């Protein structure tokens, strides 16, 4: 299925990935007619002209049914979430995103939506398989037996199952991607919801400009992750949406680094070397997480490949421009 001539709606369009999706689909010639987010329009990261931009709470059933009328393709990215500091301390808020996913699936079925894309997360994976920093890359089947990230991961896994059963029982074509740590420009870098790449960039910029050449790192810095640049995320999302893949599939880089190595790269980009202070009682998540990309290569003949160093350079430059602009100061 090609979406270029379809009526498209992006839910969570005021957020980081959602904002990039709207912009990307417009550039690709897609007929994006509606963009929805709970945030007021002046708080959206990217706001595109020529699109019906709506500030609505999609946890409310009536809002979901209202915005889905006349839509053929739904990208459902709306969720109350953030980095590890947020999801470890807001489990109930993360779980309440199940209302958005439930009502959007019901509305999509009622409105005759042709295809429904759901953004899941690597947080669905069994924690027992993520105890070692030198983790074996996670295969899709490693989500079961279920022991996901408490709160956020459970909600994501449950919503994956809803997508599966709405397809089996009602014929709603659903596509599910498990995102692994997406980063890039035009996203949050402070306030408590930011993820590690943006947080590290912010901290390095603050250290460099303040003259206090030290940085606080959550945990011991030895925990490992892979990070996917936004351009790879967009390409993979569209490919999965248009594909015949009827099961959840990993969408993430397989370039594994420690948090210490992540700091090394940002320091190199910034041209600075900082003293490290480790906050061992801070939220740190699992010890290791990486994406096994065998299945996406099998299905699409492609996998995310943008080097972390290249993506971080662009991310750092954007965050620096925001932090050092006259408006920011």
d(CA 260, CA 110): 49
Residue closest to 286 by CA, chosen among 195, 191, 222: 222
Cis geometry, peptide bond prior to residue 145 (ω within 30 degrees of 0): yes
d(CA 278, CA 299): 41
Q: 59 is written with which tokens?
A: 């946890």
Select which of 45, 152, 189, 229 is catalytic.
152
d(CA 156, CA 149): 9
Handedness of CA 119, 100, 20, 321 (dihedral sign): negative
Residue closest to 159 by CA, chosen among 191, 125, 120: 120
The reply to whether 152 belongs to the active site is: yes
Question: Which residues are designated catalytic?
Answer: 152
């Amino acid at each position: 299925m090609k979406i270029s001539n379809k009526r498209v709606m992006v839910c969570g369009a005021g957020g980081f990935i959602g904002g990039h999706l709207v912009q990307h689909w417009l550039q690709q010639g897609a007929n994006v007619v509606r963009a929805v987010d709970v945030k007021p329009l002046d708080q959206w990261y990217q706001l595109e002209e020529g699109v019906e931009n709506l500030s609505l709470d999609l946890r409310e059933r009536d809002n979901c049914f209202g915005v889905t009328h006349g839509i053929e393709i739904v990208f459902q990215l709306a969720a109350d979430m953030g980095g590890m500091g947020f999801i470890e301390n807001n489990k109930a808020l993360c779980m309440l995103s199940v209302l958005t996913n439930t009502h959007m699936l019901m509305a999509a079925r009622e409105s005759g939506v042709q295809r429904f894309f759901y953004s899941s997360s690597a947080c669905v994976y069994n924690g027992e398989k993520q105890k070692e920093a030198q983790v074996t890359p996670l295969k899709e089947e490693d989500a079961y037996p279920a022991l996901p990230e408490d709160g956020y991961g459970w909600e994501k896994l449950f919503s994956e199952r809803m997508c599966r059963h709405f397809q089996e029982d009602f014929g709603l074509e659903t596509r599910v991607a498990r995102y692994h740590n997406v980063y890039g420009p035009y996203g949050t870098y402070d306030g408590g919801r930011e993820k590690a790449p943006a947080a590290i960039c912010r901290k390095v910029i603050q250290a460099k400009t303040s003259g206090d050449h030290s940085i606080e790192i959550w945990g011991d810095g030895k925990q490992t992750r892979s990070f996917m640049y936004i351009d790879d995320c967009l390409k993979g999302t569209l490919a999965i949406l248009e594909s015949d893949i009827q099961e959840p599939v990993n969408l993430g880089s397989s370039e594994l680094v420690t948090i210490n190595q992540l700091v090394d790269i940002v320091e190199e980009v910034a041209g600075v070397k900082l003293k490290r202070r480790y906050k061992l009682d801070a939220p740190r998540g699992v010890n290791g997480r990486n994406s096994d990309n065998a299945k996406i290569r099998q299905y699409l003949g492609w996998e995310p490949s943008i080097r972390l160093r290249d993506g971080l350079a662009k991310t750092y430059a954007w965050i620096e421009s925001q932090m050092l602009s006259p408006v920011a100061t």
